[in-house]
């Protein structure tokens, strides 16, 4: 995998120690060192996906990076897709385009709205995103406790 392995290990160590529940790492969408390091450091990768050819192809590249990180780290890294700038019909098409082992939020951020505007105007609730992340965290905890037993 491209990038500095020591940087990736340092970031993973930094986020797994300390007194915090959630850390958000916002990176560029291109396959650069910050993105790759963030994937290696993450348990859950939240990805906005538009229903456009280039965006869907970009997701496939990101998915391959996550699969490679899973293999190299020998641990699960979950992906949550948030359909973005889509109609309801396009949100369904995004869901159909995503591998079945990836959790897709069953809502979309409408094309005319930014996340902030959508939340401010109560057109979109963050509850489905929080619920999805919470559900994945519960699965991780159950799996971890089963492995330790």
How do residues 76-106 score in pLDDT, each as one tens digit?
Answer: 888 888 888 888 888 888 888 888 888 887 7
The stretch 46-55 carries a mean pLDDT of 86
The DSSP secondary-structure symbol of 123 reads S
Residue percentage of the chain with pLDDT more than 70: 62
- Reply yes or no on whether the pLDDT at 112 is more than 70: no
Domain ranges in the chain are 5-12+27-148
pLDDT at 76: 86
Q: Give the DSSP H/E element, type plus range, for residue 81.
A: strand 78-83
Listed in sequence order, the residues at least 6 apart from 4 whose beta carbon sits closer than 8 Å to its beta carbon are: 33, 37
List 73's β-bridge partners, or say none: none
Model pLDDT for residues 119-130, shown as the tens digit of each residue: 555 545 556 666
């Amino acid at each position: 995998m491209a990038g500095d392995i020591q940087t990736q290990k340092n970031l993973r160590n930094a986020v797994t120690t300390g007194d915090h529940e959630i850390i958000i790492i916002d990176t560029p969408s291109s396959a650069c060192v910050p993105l790759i390091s963030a994937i290696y450091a993450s348990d859950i990768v939240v990805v906005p996906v538009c229903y456009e050819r280039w965006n869907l192809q970009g997701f496939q590249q990101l998915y391959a990076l996550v699969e490679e990180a899973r293999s190299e780290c020998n641990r699960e890294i979950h992906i949550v897709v948030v359909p973005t700038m889509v109609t309801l019909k396009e949100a369904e098409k995004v869901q159909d385009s995503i591998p079945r082992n990836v959790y897709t939020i069953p809502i979309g951020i409408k094309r005319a709205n930014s996340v902030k505007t959508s939340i401010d105007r109560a057109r979109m609730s963050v509850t489905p995103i929080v619920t999805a992340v919470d559900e994945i965290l519960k699965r991780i905890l159950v799996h971890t406790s089963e492995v330790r037993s």
